[in-house]
Structures are given as structure tokens and as C-alpha cells.
Structure 1
Amino acid sequence: MTQTPVRLHTWLRLQREGVPLAARADALCRALRGCPEVRQAFYLSWQPGARIYSHEGSGQQLPPGQGDPLQASDEVLVARLAEQGRLSLQQLRQLDCWLAGRLRRAAISHGQAFDLALEAGQRGLLLVDVHEGVALDWLGWLHELLTTLLGSVNGLLRASPLLGHDPQPSLLVDASASPLELNAALLALLGELPLVEVLRFLPVNHASLVRACLAQERAIEGVEAQCGERILIWTYIPDPQERRVLLRCREATAQILTEREAARARRLYRLITENTTDLISRHTPDGRFLDASPASWTLLGYWPEELREQLAQCLFHPQEIAQLVQRARDALEQDGYHTMTYRIRHRAGHYLWFETASRAIRETYTGAVVEVVSVSRDITARVQAEENRRRLAEVVEANTDPVLFVDPAGHITYLNPAARRALGLEARQAMPALAEVLPADDLARLQREGWSSAERKGVWGLDSRLLPPAGGASVPVSMVLLAHSTAGGERFYSLVAHDMTERELREAQQRRHQDELAHTARLVTLGELASGIAHEINQPLAAVVNYASASQRYLQSLGSNPEAAGRVAQGLERITEHANHASEVIKRLRAFLRKGQRRMQALDVAEVAREAVRLCAWEASACQVAIEEQLPDNLPPVYADRVLLEQVLLNLLRNAIDANREAQPGRASVIRLAARTEGGHLAIEVRDQGPGLGEAELARIFTPFYTSKPDGLGLGLSMSRSIIEGFGGALDGMPNGEGGLLMRCRLPLQ
């Protein structure tokens, strides 16, 4: 109730000053809602033309009535109020009128309706809805009070209308800064808020401002107050005689926010201008510098003060001045915007590549260009990078080796002309999948280790073949997978495939020459072993002759000797046995002398080694050299050519025999031939008891034409190492721990 007198005072002030009816109705309803007993208050004015009461003010309104609005009428209610002056809401709800239906729909039933005219000559109705349980007797006193107040106000002269008719929200306060009166504009600003909330709209130092205003007897202007998202600017005007202060405000939210945004934009523009690496400059229409940002020193070596009044085209490259200036002027005149790339001279004398975007500033009325604003940046690095990329692209396009750009998903994104020719693809033909051009095993290896290895090391290599998708002969290539990254950090890969067709032909030719040389060496070896071979063949032939002679003699005594037939049969059996032995010797010799392409197959090393031992057995026996075999029967197979491997072992055994004979002439000696597995390899060792070799000789024994034998060619060990390396193995010589030399041959297991 403490605010109710102030509200009534404000309403009376507005009523006296004749402000619009809606403002007075709002002030009266606001004053009544300040009473704790009152739940709601409504003021309605009589509309003779429509024959109903209608709401006044901006407050909450009653819902529409029921029935046809065109048939609505409150004339019965007007007549009853003219007779009685007021009715209870229960009585009103029983009348046959439009407002009764509106009350029923709003569920308002406890209170009274007063006949109260706020506007002279126009009937009005005040509805007061009170809380349930509150007595209604005091409402009759309220009606008489309001009627009396209206009568007194209408009988007085009007006060100054300045406060009531002020379009700006205004407030009258006393010396203690307490509100006395509010005008209609401030009430509208408050809306549904209670009067005490007006303090929220005032500056935080409101009381101090009131005291200062009265003490200094001068107005205080431009005081800013923040209320939520609203910004108000207050002016304090003193009335020293009455010890009051008039407060006027204006809504300045948009203005203040705009000014703040403009200030922020100016600060941001200055921050950008002073710190950007781009050169921001202003020019006259003919290109003369008006101003430039500090970046001019970083980019061109000139301070902004040095560039002012200087023509920008004086810094251009001489070859570009004419076309650049004229083209820029025409574009700015026609379109108002122009971007150009050109060379500009640094203070040090060298030229940089610049990219400049310019915008024309035009005169408002004539449209003539009065100023040009430009933003320039140094793109020298970009131009050089693009030039390098262009050159690289030309190199890739002209490269005779196939180049493929791929990704880890197996998609080919680019093929250079050489790659298209190798794969038999036309220029506009779609890109094949990586799985279509690589063998499955090589593709699996690429997926398994290629991508990860290229990521770690940047490069990964593989020997493979390119398979044309449409069919045809595959192309042997040596591929290198390279990992690259773009400026944005994205990864991509290139496959550079070097055509190995010529190398493959050369290797095949080299193998043929090697095989021819190996065949020649076998012939030479057999020539050196001729006496032993002759002995091995002569023995069975001599036995055949002996058994044939004996059989003839037994045939002659067939009639007198009963055992002659059995002896003949036994002789024939022995003849067959020795003839087969001679045949096997000749068969082995023919196999050893075989000429033709290599036949790679899985071999039992123990069997091949024993065959080599048999070929040189007579020579070893003649030199009193025993060959001790340590060849297990369960050795895993190796993949090699039988004849060539036998030739290598025979060469190693004969060299060991010669070494033993040289170190121990006329005495018995031993050569150990052993084989065993070592990791993923099979090692074959030949240990002799010869004089051995020094480090210098060991380093040269595999050099072609190097030999320690008076009549040797020096090709045996060199050829043997080439043969073993062709099988994917290795042949090495080292000192034997027991004296002599150890030759070790290592072959990969199948």
C-alpha cells in the first residue's frame, strides 16, 4: 500500500493535465493493482456506435464474449449502472449483455463494477477483481473516493502540461530522490512492472546526482543507465524553490551500441592495419600514394612517410607499366574493382611478385573516382612454387618412365603419357584400379609394408610388372613409392616405375653368356678329368672283356663240364652289371655336359654333392686325398639348377684337392664336405688342409682372371660366385681353423 498514494497522485496529475485516455486508464489500473486485496483492474469506455464497452490502455484485456459479435450489446448494463452506480460482479454475470459473457469466460466473479467517467462526456466502466474471501464493503468507499477525486480534479484549473505531455519518459523526485510523479511515457516504459521498479531504469548513483543537481542548481546531462539490454540517457533538471528535480530520459540503446560498434571497428581496423602483413594503401586516381600501412617497410623497404606523394607505377617493372596502369584505370572506372598480379621493385633493387586488389571510392553525386583503396600482398613464394610445380609437371609429363599418382585406398588419380602407353590406355580412358595393373602378390606387399615404409622413410622400392588392363605383354619395372604432402598437410603418393625391359634382356643375355662360359668350363673340367674318366670307364669295359672270354671257354667245355652252363650264366650277369655301370658313368657325363637354358628345380643338396664327389673321386684317389662326407639325409631342398650347382661343388672340391696336394705332396690328406641349415639358408662347406691364403689373396680370389695356379685361368671361383648369387645365395672364402681354407656356399631354402 506504500506505493498506492504515489500512483494515485500520478493518475490525478495525468487526469488534470488531460493526457490521452489510454495513459490515464493505465495509471488508474496500475494504482488499483498496487492494493494487496485487488487481483486485477480493467477500465472500459462506452462505444455508442458498437453498443458495447471496450478496453482502454495497454494492460491485460478480457477475452471476447460468446455468440455473434454483430449481435453484441451492453445496453442493459449501461441502464443498470445509470440507476445504481455500481454492481457486484455476480450481479453483472447474471445480466444478458456482452460483458457478462466476457467475465464468465475469464472466470472473474468476485468484485464490483463502477460507473466512472475518466473522459468528459463519455461513459466509462471500472472493473475491480479482488481476491476470494475479501469483503466488498470497502469497494463502495473506493468508488466514492474516485468519484470525489474526479470531481475535484475537473473543478481545478489544469497544471502545466509539461510533465504529462512530455514525449520523453520523465520522473519528478523530491530532495531525497524519492519518486513523486511519473508521466505517461515513463509508465509505458515500465509496462506491467510495479512502480518501485522505476529505480532499475535510473543510474546507479541516482541519489548523489539529485543532491548534486540541487546543491549546484544546474542541470546534469548525459548520464548513462543500463537496464538489461536497454541503455537510457538521463538529464537531471533542478527546481531549487520546490526542492524537486525533474528527470528526463531518452532511449539510446541503438545509438550507444552503434557508437560502441563503430569504436570497436575503428580499433579493429587500426589493429589490422598496423599489424597485417598485407600492404593497405590509399591512392589518388592517377596512382599517387596518399597513405600506406606500416607493412610497406616489411614488404618494400619504404616507410609510409616515404611513399606519400610518390607514384606507385614508378615501382613497377618497366615491361609491365604501360599495360598495367591503363588496364587498372579502365577497370576501376567501369567496375569499381580490379585485381592484378605484377612485379614491383624493392628498395634494395630486386623485384617481388605482388597481388593487389583495388576498390574505387566514388563521389556521391557525380560518381567520379576520387580515391582508390588497395590491399597488396607478396606472392613471390607462391609464384615461384607455381613455376616449380609447372616445371615439375612438364618433367613428369615428358618423363619416359611411367609415373602413377595413387592413394592408400588403391585409386590411381593420375597417369603420365609414358604410363598410359605402358598400360595401353587412351588419353581420355578412365583410370584403372591399382589391383588391375599390379600382380596380386606385389599389391599385397605394397599394402602390407609399402605405405607404412613410405610414410616413415619417404621412399620404398619394389621390382614388379605392370599389367595392361586390356591384356597383352606385361612390362617389367623397378618401382619406387614416394610419399608427398600438400601445403594443407594432406598425404598423396607417386609410383615411379622404371622400365626394366632392356635390363631384363641384358640379364637374360648375360645368363646365356654365363651358361655358355659355364658349359665351356665344364668341358675344360672334363678334359682335365679325362684320365680319371677313362679309368672309370675302362674298368667296367675290362671286366666285360674278361667275363666274355671266360664265358666262351666255358661254352667250349659245355659237354664235358657239368658246371659250365652255370658259369656262363654267371659271366653274362657280371657283363650286364659292368656294362650298366659304364652306361651310368656316360649318362652322368652327358648330364654334366648338358647345354641349354637353366632348369630351376627343388634339389637334394646331399645327392648333388655326392655326384660331384664321384666325378672327382679318381683324381682325389690319385693324389692320396680322402673326401670325408658329412651330408645328412634330412636336409631341406633348395631351388637351383642341378648341373650348375654340381659344377660349383666340383670346382670347390678340385681346388681343395689341388691345395692338399700342394701342401702335403705324397702324403695322405683329408677334405671335409659338410652341409647344414643356418636360419633360412643351407650352408655347404668344403674344408681343405692346404697352405691357405693371406687376407690380400682372400680379398682377390673371386676376381676374374686372378689365380695362384701356374696353368689356371682364374675364372672358376668368379664364375662359381656368379652362379650361386644367381640362385639368391652367397659364396665366401675364409681361413680354416685347422689350417687350410674354408669355402662356404649359402643357398636360400625353398
Structure 2
Amino acid sequence: MSQNPVRLHTWLRLQREGVPLSARADAVCRALRGCPEVRQAYYLSWLESVGIYGHEGSGQHLPPGQGDPLLASDQALLVSLEDHGRLDLEQVRGLDCWFSGRLRRAAISHGQVFDLALEPGRPGLLLVEVREGVSLDWLGWVHELLSTLLAISGDLMRASPLLGYDPQPTLLLDAAGGPLELNAALLALLADQPPGSVVRFLPVNHASLVRACLEQGRAIEHVEAECDGRILIWTFIPDPQASRVLARCREATEQVLAEREATKARRLYRLITENTTDLISRHTPDGRFLDASPASWTLLGYWPETLRGQLAQGLFHAQDLASLIQRARDALETDGYHTMTYRIRHRDGHYLWFETASRAIRETYTGAVVEVVSVSRDITARVQAEENKRRLAEVVEANTDPVLFIDADERITYLNPAARKLLKLEEGQPMPALSMLFAADDLNRLQTGRERAGRAGVWSADSRLHPPLGGASVPVSLVLLAHRAAGGERYYSLVARDMTERELREAQQRRHQDELAHTARLVTLGELASGIAHEINQPLAAVVNYASASQRYLQSLEENPQAIVRVSQGLERITEHANHASEVIKRLRGFLRKGQRRMQALDLCEVTREAVRLCAWEANAWQVVIEERLPDNLPPVYADRVLLEQVLINLLRNAIDANREAQPGEASRIVLSARLTTGSGLEVDVLDEGPGLDDSELERVFTPFYTSKPDGLGLGLSMSRSIIEGFGGALEGQRAATGGLLMRCRLPLP
């Protein structure tokens, strides 16, 4: 107990001040709970009317006893305490009383009860529960100490007679700021906290305040302190003769927080008013400026001082005056609120679009409008944007190209008149599904295009639109644009240009190109006529020779029976050479075939060797060897057989002419090679040993009608490049590292 002098001092003061019993009971229990050996302490007073002990104070209560409450009695315990003064809990639990049942239900078994009457003439007991393993011997002198202090408390001089009856939390402080005594209100504020923790509730500089209060001999008021979310306002009153200070406080949490919020709100309102980009203004009922925020300079070029006293309508556009003023006055008078959009003149002379929300301030008793508060903002950019949207909508409506709007779920949300006309849909018909307008492959491509447009913003491709109600499909060139709404939702606009005329022109152009290619093949055939004649004459001459020999053998059949074998061999040779001539004719007919191109997968090596055979006689005539470097494992290419053969023949004949020009009368070589590239395609190279071409000639060699031959047309390489590009490939020429010219033909794979 020596470690808790403040607690005992406080209890004694409360005891002699005669404060309510509950406050004194709390004080003595709090003093005992401050001992480390004590687990819990309870004070109970005798209830004469019911014959049991009842709890006092705000501390924890024991549970009810066992049995019928109407038969409850603690008379045996009362008699034992009067006889012995104190009892061990084991002795109490052995008595036949209501209190022993309460101990058992609370599982309290280690400690003692004291006979202690805090109220004169009213018996009471103090229950002290100690921790397990702690001896009970020391509780005897605790009981004696409490009894002695209780006996002499009435004889002590009352140091501060007002302290116990002060409704505000109050304490006495010594000259160093240490707590001496606490009143009941302050103990209630502390709750279960020890009295020494009262320092936490004092201002952090309370020691300095106490010294100043005593030295100056005056009270110090309105000192704010905050603890555990509570805000206390302290007043320090000096007692110079006793060198102590009476400290009183009142809880002002709600008041201080409300004042802080009000101050914050006023500061925030001032910050908003001074820094907002909107113009906040006050007006008389007829529209005259009373005040304006600094935004008036930014928005209108006027300082608030300049606007005060001016009529706001003096800045309005003349066309807006008649319709706005009276309508605004009527709305403010009737509803008290009005919003309007209008044009207002800047100090520089140009007009801005403003949106103003006004609210009427009325006189309390009459209800008359005495002031108008307005918030105005510049919406010029928004009005211009809406105007641009309106104009854009008119452009989309009048656009001759079909325009479709598609949302994130692939639903068509809008069709312009051109799109409805192309799809043969009336104005009132519902929107078709996207899957009804495109084939499955095109729909998959469109899905991929949406993802690309989402990243790059735009995607384009060629496709075909199918009217949902049937009819011929329409070739279109699609441009898909990705947009994002204000809420972040993705949507798309699809512009489809009708490419029917272009498709017809391209078909006509292909027909013209095919005609021109056929003409070039005829020219080539004429140039190869001697070689072709040689190819046909050789088998025909062999057929004649074998036929003549077979006739002679038939005439000598009677004389030479073995002649029949020779005749059989001759007929086989005739058949062989006739088939050879037929193959030559068939190749020529295929080469001269006229008609639409037929794209198919081709064996490049087979087509290349056929072109070499057609050029073989001319190469042999000029002592040119065509060296073939063709791998056997090349994948097929996708092209027209006749046109590809025509390109290879053009390149080989040009190489033969180049070799003949550079090495007349001498043997030369042409290397024909093919390989698979890393770009998923095939390359065919024709390398000659001719004089080659300089840079200017390389730039013009593919130009139509450009030729270096005296009798050339200048269409071979130009047509060859067009044919290869039509296959999706490329044809280019470059100077070879070893001299001569390298022509490289790139072909795509199917």
C-alpha cells in the first residue's frame, strides 16, 4: 500500500468530504487494485431490508448466488464478521449464506473479506482477491491500516471543503505540479485508470503553469489539453499561502471539434472562393454586382472591385437579354433557383459561353428576395465541342460511304443512310447482327482488327458486305476506328467504302494484262520459232527414217524372217518420237493459252525446268550453258503456271542475250538457282555473265517500253514485274558481285 499514497489520500479525502458512498467505494477498491498482489477488490454494504450484502460503486459485480433469491440471506456472514473482523474466503465458502454461492459462481477462492463500514451505522464488507501463490498474512495489517484510517478520517481537518462537491473534474496540485487530491468527478473521468495517470489529462506544460500561477498570484484560464480523444479546458486557481493550486476542467470535446470544423469550413470556403476557376458572385435582386471572387479576372478580365455596382446584364449578348432576364427573375421568385446558359462579353470584346446557377437569399419573415448568389463557369469549349459533334453527325448522315457504329459487345448501334441503302434496310427496321453482314472468315479478321485498332487506334482491310435480307455481296474497303467513351467504355466506328467499281476496273485491268501477256508470248514464240521448228523437226525426221526402214524390212520378210523384229523396233521408235513431238506441241499450246489466270499450288522446280527446255535450243545455238541449282525439297508456290513460266522464259532469254553480247562466239554460263528464305517464301535467281547495268539503267529497266535492244519492245521486264506482284511477290535486279546482272524473283508460299 505504500506504493499508492495518492490513491489512499484521495480515498481519505472523499471519506471525510462525505461524498456519495459509491464514489468512496470505488476509491478504496481502486487503491487496493493498485497493489501488484491484488487481483480484484469489491465493496458491498449491508442491505437491511433484504438481509444480504449489495454492491456499491461502478466496478465489476459478483454474479448472483445459488438457490431461490427470495430465500437469500447473508445473516451468518454478518455475524461471523462482527465476531472475527475478517475471514478467509475458504471460511466464507463454508458458511450457509447467499454470498458464499456468489463466490463459488465467480470462481473466487483465494483472499479475505474485511468488516469495513464506509458509511457510519451501516455495516459493509471489503472483498480482496489475491493472486495464486501469494500469502494471506499481509492482509491483516492492510485491514488494520484501513480501519485505522477510517477511524481517524473524521477528525482530520478538511483541506479543501469545496473539492468533494465540485461537479467539474478537479484536483489539487503541489508547487511542483504533482497531484495531491482528486475529487469524485475526476475519478469518474479516470474510470479504471490509476490516479497517477491524471497527469495525462493535464496540459503538457502544467508544471510551468502551476509555477506561473503561484508566482503571479492569478488564475490561468482556458488552457486546452487532449488525451484519449477527449479535449479538456483547464483553469488553474492559486492558493499562495498553502503553495498549491486548484485545477478545474470541463470537457469541451464537442465544442472544440465543432469550432475547429467551423474554422476549417470558413478557411476552406475562403480557399475555394479565392482559388476556384468558377466565378462566385453576389447580386442585388435586379442583377447588380455586390461582390465577386478573384476568378472574375481570369474569366472576364475584370477585377472584383471593378464589377461591384455594375449590372451583370450589361455584359450579356444583345440577343440573349430579352429571353433571359425576366425568365431568371420569375424562376428565382417562384422556385428560388435558376440555371441559365448565355453569352457574356469579355473585357477584350469577344464573347464567351457561360453557365450560371443562381440561388435566391430571402428575408426571414417576409420571404422577399434580398440577394442572389451565383456560380458561373466558362463552357465555351463544351459548347464548341457540342457544335462540332452536331456538325460531325450531319457529315456522317450525309456521307456517301456506309458508316456503322459498333459497341464493345459487337452490337451494331447505328447505321447511316448510306449503310442502310447498301444493306437494303428500311429506316424502321431493327439493327442486324454483325454476323449477318460478314462471312465467318471476315468476322474473325474483324475481331482481330478490333484488337489492333484498340492498340493503334485504326485498322483497315478489304472485305465483302452481305445484305441481311439476301442479295449479292458487295466488295468494300473497311476502316475500323477505336474510340473510348467518357466512362472508359470502348466502342468502334466502321467506315465501309463500296469498291464495286474498283473491283470491275481491276478485273478489266487483269484482262488487259492477260491480253498483253498473251501478245508478249506470241512475240516470244516468234523469236523462238527456229528453236521450236528444230524441236519438232527432229522427231518428225526420225519418224520418217524409221518408217522407211520398216517398209524395207517388210519387203524382205519372205527372205529374212527376222525382219519382223526390226519392224517392231521401228514402230516403237516411231511412237516414241511422235509422242515427243506431241509433247512439244502441247507445251507450245499451253504456253500460248489465252484466258483467265488460274492460281494454284505449283512445283517450282517442274515449272523452272519446263522454261529451261523451251529456251534450250536458243542457249545451245549461242554456246550458253544453263546451270540448274534446284533443291528437291522446295515447298510449292501459289501462282498461275503459264504466267510464271512466261516470267522465267523472259529472264532466261534476257540472260542469254546478255551473255551473247558480252562474249560473242564464246562459251558462257547462266546460273539458275532457287532457295527457301527466312521470310516464309521462295527466291529464284537468274545470274548471267553479261555486261550488267549501271545505277540509272537499273532504275529504268522495269519501266514500260524501256529497252537496250535494237529490236526489243521494252515490255518483258515490266510485264514480268506486274505478273509477280500480282502473285503477291516481287521482282528486282542488282549488279552481281562477280559481274553481270542478277535478277531475283520472290514468290509467296500458299
Q: TM-score range by the shorter chain?
A: 0.7 to 0.9
Question: Is contact 1:732-1:745 (8 Å) kept?
Answer: yes
Question: What's 1:133 paired with?
Answer: 137
Q: Please say if 1:113 is aligned against 2:127.
A: no
Question: What's 1:640 paired with?
Answer: 639
Question: Is contact 1:10-1:27 (8 Å) kept?
Answer: no
Question: What's 1:11 paired with?
Answer: 14
Q: Could you tell me how far 1:255 is from its partner in structure 2?
A: 1.8
Q: Could you tell me how far 1:12 is from its partner in structure 2?
A: 4.9
Q: Please say if 1:513 is aligned against 2:516.
A: no
Once residues 12 and 379 of structure 1 are traced to their aligned partners in structure 2, the CA distance between those partners, rounded to angstroms, is: 76
Question: What's 1:260 paired with?
Answer: 260
Deviations 1:44-103 (A, max 9, x none): 26454x55554444344443333333444567777899x979675778777665556546
Once residues 181 and 578 of structure 1 are traced to their aligned partners in structure 2, the CA distance between those partners, rounded to angstroms, is: 139
Question: What's 1:626 paired with?
Answer: 623
Superposition map of 1:730-749 within 5 A: 730-732=730-732, 745-748=745-748
Q: Could you tell me how far 1:438 is from its partner in structure 2?
A: 3.4
Question: What's 2:665 paired with?
Answer: 668
Question: Is contact 2:284-2:371 (8 Å) kept?
Answer: yes
Q: 1:77 to 1:705 in 2, by over 3 A?
A: closer
**Aligned Cα root-mean-square deviation (Å):** 5.1
Once residues 309 and 105 of structure 1 are traced to their aligned partners in structure 2, the CA distance between those partners, rounded to angstroms, is: 83
Question: What's 1:727 paired with?
Answer: 727
Identity score, percent: 67
Once residues 547 and 62 of structure 2 are traced to their aligned partners in structure 1, the CA distance between those partners, rounded to angstroms, is: 148
Once residues 289 and 127 of structure 2 are traced to their aligned partners in structure 1, the CA distance between those partners, rounded to angstroms, is: 77
Q: AA paired with 2:673?
A: R
Once residues 747 and 6 of structure 2 are traced to their aligned partners in structure 1, the CA distance between those partners, rounded to angstroms, is: 111
Question: Which deviates more from structure 2 when the two are superposed, residues 727-736 or residues 639-648?
Answer: 727-736
Q: 1:79 to 1:244 in 2, by over 3 A?
A: same
Q: Could you tell me how far 1:630 is from its partner in structure 2?
A: 1.5
Question: Is contact 2:401-2:495 (8 Å) kept?
Answer: no
Once residues 587 and 287 of structure 1 are traced to their aligned partners in structure 2, the CA distance between those partners, rounded to angstroms, is: 101
Superposition map of 1:699-710 within 5 A: 699-707=699-707
Q: 1:606 to 1:248 in 2, by over 3 A?
A: closer
Q: 1:114 to 1:496 in 2, by over 3 A?
A: same
Superposition map of 1:143-542 within 5 A: 146=150, 162-172=162-172, 182-239=182-239, 245-326=245-326, 328-329=328-329, 332=332, 336-365=336-365, 368-389=368-389, 391-392=391-392, 395=395, 398=399, 400-401=401-402, 416=415, 427-430=430-433, 432=435, 437-439=440-442, 442=445, 446=448, 451=451, 455=455, 459=458, 461-463=460-462, 476-480=475-479, 498-526=497-525
Once residues 411 and 365 of structure 1 are traced to their aligned partners in structure 2, the CA distance between those partners, rounded to angstroms, is: 62
Once residues 119 and 693 of structure 2 are traced to their aligned partners in structure 1, the CA distance between those partners, rounded to angstroms, is: 139
Once residues 248 and 492 of structure 2 are traced to their aligned partners in structure 1, the CA distance between those partners, rounded to angstroms, is: 75
SS at match of 2:309: coil
Aligned residues: 726
Q: Could you tell me how far 1:377 is from its partner in structure 2?
A: 3.6
Q: TM-score, normalised by structure 2?
A: 0.77
SS at match of 1:6: helix
Once residues 570 and 96 of structure 1 are traced to their aligned partners in structure 2, the CA distance between those partners, rounded to angstroms, is: 146
Question: What's 2:133 paired with?
Answer: none
Once residues 113 and 306 of structure 1 are traced to their aligned partners in structure 2, the CA distance between those partners, rounded to angstroms, is: 87
Q: AA paired with 1:595?
A: K
Q: 1:230 to 1:646 in 2, by over 3 A?
A: closer
Once residues 33 and 662 of structure 1 are traced to their aligned partners in structure 2, the CA distance between those partners, rounded to angstroms, is: 124
Q: Could you tell me how far 1:676 is from its partner in structure 2?
A: 0.5
Q: 1:670 to 1:598 in 2, by over 3 A?
A: farther
Q: Please say if 1:681 is aligned against 2:682.
A: yes
Question: Is contact 2:278-2:376 (8 Å) kept?
Answer: yes
Once residues 656 and 261 of structure 1 are traced to their aligned partners in structure 2, the CA distance between those partners, rounded to angstroms, is: 96
Q: Could you tell me how far 1:349 is from its partner in structure 2?
A: 2.6
Question: Is contact 1:29-1:43 (8 Å) kept?
Answer: no
SS at match of 2:623: strand
Question: What's 1:597 paired with?
Answer: 596
Deviations 1:275-315 (A, max 9, x none): 33333334444444333332332233222222333344443
Q: AA paired with 1:264?
A: K
Deviations 1:133-187 (A, max 9, x none): 236488578657746755x69xx9x999754433223345566666665444334
Question: Which deviates more from structure 2 when the two are superposed, residues 538-547 or residues 676-685?
Answer: 538-547
Q: 1:116 to 1:625 in 2, by over 3 A?
A: closer
Once residues 564 and 179 of structure 1 are traced to their aligned partners in structure 2, the CA distance between those partners, rounded to angstroms, is: 153
Q: 1:251 to 1:585 in 2, by over 3 A?
A: closer
Q: Could you tell me how far 1:611 is from its partner in structure 2?
A: 4.7
SS at match of 1:124: coil
Question: Which deviates more from structure 2 when the two are superposed, residues 477-486 or residues 560-569?
Answer: 560-569
Question: Is contact 1:632-1:675 (8 Å) kept?
Answer: yes
Deviations 1:224-260 (A, max 9, x none): 3334333222223345566664433222222222222
SS at match of 1:110: strand
Once residues 12 and 379 of structure 2 are traced to their aligned partners in structure 1, the CA distance between those partners, rounded to angstroms, is: 75
SS at match of 1:703: coil
Question: Which deviates more from structure 2 when the two are superposed, residues 635-644 or residues 331-340?
Answer: 331-340
SS at match of 2:123: strand
Long gaps (5+) in structure 2? 131-135
Q: AA paired with 2:625?
A: E
Q: 1:633 to 1:365 in 2, by over 3 A?
A: same
Superposition map of 1:2-81 within 5 A: 2-3=5-6, 6-7=9-10, 10-15=13-18, 20-23=20-23, 26=26, 40=41, 42=43, 44=45, 46=47, 48=49, 50=50, 52-72=52-72
Q: Please say if 1:588 is aligned against 2:591.
A: no
Q: 1:433 to 1:111 in 2, by over 3 A?
A: farther
Q: AA paired with 1:226?
A: E
Question: Is contact 1:171-1:182 (8 Å) kept?
Answer: yes
Q: 1:218 to 1:722 in 2, by over 3 A?
A: closer
Q: TM-score, normalised by structure 1?
A: 0.77
Q: 1:735 to 1:552 in 2, by over 3 A?
A: same
Deviations 1:661-709 (A, max 9, x none): 8889xx73667443212534332427475x8766655544443344566
Once residues 9 and 614 of structure 2 are traced to their aligned partners in structure 1, the CA distance between those partners, rounded to angstroms, is: 137
Once residues 187 and 653 of structure 2 are traced to their aligned partners in structure 1, the CA distance between those partners, rounded to angstroms, is: 126
Once residues 226 and 32 of structure 1 are traced to their aligned partners in structure 2, the CA distance between those partners, rounded to angstroms, is: 29
Once residues 31 and 658 of structure 1 are traced to their aligned partners in structure 2, the CA distance between those partners, rounded to angstroms, is: 125
Superposition map of 1:98-109 within 5 A: 98-99=98-99, 101-102=101-102, 105=105, 107=108
- Within the candidate set 113, 121, 124, 2:122 is matched to 124
Deviations 1:522-546 (A, max 9, x none): 3454456566656665666666667
SS at match of 1:218: coil
Question: Which deviates more from structure 2 when the two are superposed, residues 238-247 or residues 227-236?
Answer: 238-247
Once residues 579 and 544 of structure 1 are traced to their aligned partners in structure 2, the CA distance between those partners, rounded to angstroms, is: 7
Question: Is contact 1:313-1:321 (8 Å) kept?
Answer: yes
Once residues 466 and 682 of structure 2 are traced to their aligned partners in structure 1, the CA distance between those partners, rounded to angstroms, is: 33
Once residues 701 and 51 of structure 2 are traced to their aligned partners in structure 1, the CA distance between those partners, rounded to angstroms, is: 133
SS at match of 1:233: strand
Q: 1:603 to 1:197 in 2, by over 3 A?
A: closer
Q: AA paired with 2:170?
A: S
Q: AA paired with 1:110?
A: Q
Long gaps (5+) in structure 1? none
